[in-house]
Every structure is written in C-alpha cells, then in structure tokens.
Amino acid sequence: MVAPWNGRPLWWLQLISLATLATLVGRSGSWQRAGLLGWAFATAWLTATFWWLFISMHRYGGLAAPLAAVAVLGLAAFLALYYAAAMAAFGAVTRPGATVRALLFAALWLLAELLRVTWFTGFPWGAGGYAHVDGPLSALAPWVGVHGIGFIAAVLAYGLALLLHPATLRSWRYWVALGSCVALLAACNLAAAPHPAASARPSLSVALLQGNIPQDEKFQGGTGIPLALDWYGRQLRDSTASLVVAPETAIPLLPQQLPNGYFEALRARFAQGRQAALIGIPLGSLRDGYTNSAIGLKPGADVYRYDKHHLVPFGEFIPPLFRWFTDMMNIPLGDFNRGRIGQPSFEWQGQRLAPNICYEDLFGEELGAHFTDPATAPTILVNISNIGWFGDTVAVDQHLQISRMRTLEFDRPMIRATNTGATVIIDHRGQVTYALPRYTRGVLAGEVEGQTTITPYAWWISRMGLAPLWLLALAIAAAALWRQRGRPHP
C-alpha cells in the first residue's frame, strides 16, 4: 500500500488491513460468505491500487468515461476472484489449530498472488509485499523476494488478528511463535549488513534523460514527434557522461520513418570516443511487425538491441477476442511483438547493464533469468519507462517502489530513465541516491556502482522460477486439508 499524499509505502497499514480481512473471514460462518468477503476486499483494494488506468483509457485512449470506469472496475473484480477462491477455501477449513490456520491463511493468500502473476500474462501490480520495501520485512527480500515477503506478512497479519481473542494472550505457543518471528527478522537484518567493498565495481557516470513530452502529443507529427527528436537528439549529442540513457520510445518513430540521416547521426555520434547510449525506440516495420525496444550504441561494436518481452495487455498487445475493445481506443503502436526472456546485457566500461522496459520490472522471476551464471549476471539494472499514460498520479510512486524492491532482491542498483518520472538512480540497498523532479524536462547526472554478489533469491529464482513458492503454498494447503479430514467431527 502506498500513501496517496506522499507515495511512501505503508507496511503497517498493509498488516492491519490484512488482519482485518482475516478477522472477518474467520467469523464469517460459511465458506460462501468467506469467499464473498475476500472478493469484496480484493475488488476494493485493487480498484484503489490501479484506478489510474482510467486516465490512459479515457484521457489518452479516447474511451468514454463510463466505459473506462467499468473497465477498471471489471479488471479489479476479475482479479479479485483469485482472492475470493482463496478465502472461500480458508473458510471451508475449520478444524486445525491457530498455527496451522495462520500458515493456511498465508499459503492461500500466496496462491492468489501467484495466480495474479501468471494467469493471462499476469498483472501483479500492487502485490502486498511491495508495501514492505521500507519496513522491517525488507531484510527478507534478498532471500525470499516480494512474494515471499507477502506470505510472511500474511502470517503476521493473522497473528495480529488473533490478538482479538483473549485466549490467545494466555497461550505460550502464541508468544513462542511471536518470539520466533522477531528472532527471524533480527537474523535477516544482521545478514543484510553491508557487503565488502570487493563486491562493487568502479562507478559509472550516467546521464538520464527526461523529456516530459505531453502524452497526448507524444505521437503527433506536428507537436510531440518534432519536439522529441530535437530535444533527445541534442541531449544525446551534447552529453559528456560515460553512459546516456533515453526512456521508452524516446524516439517515437520506427528508424525508417525518421528524417534522413537522423539515425545515422546517432550511430556516428557514439561510434568513437569513450561514451555509450541506451535509447528507447520501436524497431521493425508496420508490415512485418514491430517491437518495443532499446538500442545500445558504443564505440567499436554493432548496435545492441533489447526487445521488450512482457507486454501490457490492451496497450501493447491485443488479447484474443478483445480487438473490438482496443478498436474503441486510440493507442498508437498498440500491437507489439515479444522479445525473449534472458536477452544478453549491454556491456560497457566493465559493467553489464540489463535493460527492462516499463512494467517488466514487476516480474522478478523474469529478470532472474539473467542471474544463472555469475560471470554474465548484470551488474546494473536499467529501466526505461513512460508512465505519462497515467498522468501525475500515484502510479509513478508505485512503480518506483517496485523498482526499489528489485534492487533489494538482486542486490543490484537500478537506473531509471522515464518520460515524466520517476527518473532516479537507486543503489543496491533500495535507496534513491539521485532524483529528477517529476514532470520537468531535464537531465539527471549521477554516479552508479555496479555489484557482483548473487543473493539467495537470485540463485533460486534463476533456476526454479516461482516453483518453490507454488510448492510451499500447495504443501501447506494439502497438509491443512489432511488435518481437516483426519480429525473427528466435534
């Protein structure tokens, strides 16, 4: 959960809200009512989380306001069905004791979160674990990742709900469990002590470009396109940083649509000297298909290319049977081809830079594909985005917290170049060290230090993906069901 007044994550509010759900479901009296409560809770939570999708569909996509509102509510209500099923299952299991029920509540919550990550290409925006990026559970990120944090938070929330039962306060088992949780957090915080200096590489000077091109003009031939070509072209030409990064679709045309000599001049600019650039640009053709891409330019090398893999439904690709819906909106370049997972990093001055575009950094399991071999693992993560689709809303803050969580999970800094914000440099501890004011046109200059350590999370997520979390949740659910059947009826 992110506070709407300052965009900061509120870990304590996430625990309280989840404890409230656990209390209501525990007192529901039937699995049907428990499922309905879970659905209502998740629908309200998710609607409040990504209400800003309304702006992209109505203001910039041209969809009528009532239809856009119904679409946002419909998406939230559909995703809430995962949580409805989870709470219905929890309401149906009545016999195990408090410890097993706490684990079961957390396991079913985790299953719902994992379903939201994977089904129908996944849309895990606002997962519960992100609320803890500044909380005590953040020390667990390098070990279990955001969804593991969400599982542990759900256990703690259920424990918090038990405080409303007087018998709980008299139970020594409860206090032993509470003490164990505190000891675990203390151990993880100790394990998160600063790494030795040997894990860091020489710093890299970077210039991150933020064009602040109005979204409703960005793809217009008489306004946004000339402005983007001129401003980004001048910044790329004049920068003195070792690495210059321009955001997603900073160059808003396919290379063959650019003015004569424009693309060639960019290549010539970085073909010699001691500077390199990563630039967001669509590649391909309208006839054969195109990709949302980044190109890398540096002396003595061919053009590097990264193609976005995880596309946004309705904005970047059209799901089957939904072309009628996307035809109602005016979204340019709205049907991209996919890149592959695990594309090579862009190597420059001893650093391995792994690009990801827009909301790809929500999917830590996909970024983890880069970390199988420590010799080729990225030393710096690079996100290029355009959140201008969603106006000056909390979406900017939410995406920043998502990026910060990735830096904690992988022990890697991340540099973010965006059209409107948040253009920042985040160190490997998840702290923003440099930031550009949002909704301004400017260049963020700073230093970033790459890292080479491999966290436990990076190790297992790169080899097994989300399978360990699935197995954990399913094993707990199966054990609870076994206990349910094995105990005699009262």
Catalytic residue positions? 248, 308, 358
- What ranges make up the beta strands (E) of 190-242? 200-210
Two tokens, residue 91: 């309401």
Name the β-bridge partners of 86: none
Q: How much is the average pLDDT of 275-283?
A: 97
Two tokens, residue 37: 């409560």
Q: How many angstroms separate the Cα of 150 from the Cα of each of 20, 137, 251, 279, 384?
A: 16, 9, 38, 35, 26
Q: What pLDDT, on the 0 to 100 scale, is given for residue 197? A: 46
Residue 193, pLDDT > 60, answer no
Q: What pLDDT, on the 0 to 100 scale, is given for residue 125? A: 93
For 320-378, the pLDDT digits (tens) are 545 545 455 555 655 678 889 889 999 999 999 999 999 899 999 999 999 999 999 99
Q: What pLDDT, on the 0 to 100 scale, is given for residue 187? A: 66
Q: What pLDDT, on the 0 to 100 scale, is given for residue 63? A: 85
DSSP run (H or E) holding 194: none
CB environment 58-69: b (16+ within 10 A), e (fewer): bbbbebeeeebb
- Tokens 């699995």 found at: 31
Q: How much is the average pLDDT of 167-175?
A: 62
Residue 312, pLDDT > 90, answer no
HSE-up (13 A, CA, CB side) for residue 86: 30
- What percent of the chain is predicted at pLDDT more than 90? 67
Q: How far apart are CA 3 and CA 220, in angstroms?
A: 35
Q: How much is the average pLDDT of 151-176?
A: 77
What one-letter code names the amino acid at 306?
Answer: Y
**Under 8 Å between Cβ of 188 and 229:** no
Q: CB 189: neighbour CB atoms within 10 A?
A: 13
For 69-84, the pLDDT digits (tens) are 999 999 999 999 999 9
Residue 6, pLDDT > 50, answer yes
Q: How many angstroms separate the Cα of 367 from the Cα of each of 357, 407, 457, 464?
A: 11, 11, 12, 13
Vertex 121: Cα angle to 253 and 387 (nearest 5): 45
Residue 231, pLDDT > 50, answer yes
Name the β-bridge partners of 347: 352
User: How much is the pTM?
Assistant: 0.91
Asked if the bond preceding 98 is cis, omega within 30° of 0, the reply is: no
Q: What pLDDT, on the 0 to 100 scale, is given for residue 159? A: 86
Q: What pLDDT, on the 0 to 100 scale, is given for residue 173? A: 63
Q: How far apart are CA 377 and CA 458, in angstroms?
A: 10
DSSP string of 17-86? HHHHHHHHHHTS-SHHHHHHHHHHHHHHHHHHHSTTHHHIIIIIT---HHHHHHHHHHHHHHHHHHHHHH
Closest CA to 154 of 80, 91, 94, 86: 86
Q: How much is the average pLDDT of 23-29?
A: 91
**Under 8 Å between Cβ of 351 and 383:** no
For 80-105, the pLDDT digits (tens) are 999 999 999 999 987 777 788 899 99
Query: Between these two residues, 311 and 83, which has the higher pLDDT value?
Result: 83
Backbone angles phi, psi at 423, to 5 degrees: -90, 110
**Under 8 Å between Cβ of 295 and 279:** yes
**Mean of the per-residue pLDDT values of the chain:** 88
Q: How much is the average pLDDT of 231-244?
A: 96
Q: What pLDDT, on the 0 to 100 scale, is given for residue 486? A: 53
Closest CA to 409 of 348, 344, 361: 361
Q: In residues, how long is the chain?
A: 490
Closest CA to 391 of 56, 120, 127: 56
Which positions ≥6 away from 43 have C-beta within 8 Å? 73, 76, 77, 80
Q: What pLDDT, on the 0 to 100 scale, is given for residue 324? A: 46
> No. of H helices and E strands in the chain?
15, 12
**Under 8 Å between Cβ of 246 and 205:** no
Which positions ≥6 away from 165 have C-beta within 8 Å? none
177-181 contacts: CB < 8 A, separation 24 or more? 177/99, 181/155, 181/156
Q: CB 406: neighbour CB atoms within 10 A?
A: 25
**Under 8 Å between Cβ of 444 and 456:** no
Domains of the chain: 11-193+465-486 (no CATH), 197-452 (3.60.110.10)
Q: How far apart are CA 98 and CA 79, in angstroms?
A: 28
For 442-479, the pLDDT digits (tens) are 999 999 999 999 999 999 999 999 999 999 999 999 98
Q: How far apart are CA 103 and CA 472, in angstroms?
A: 10
Backbone angles phi, psi at 409, to 5 degrees: -65, -45
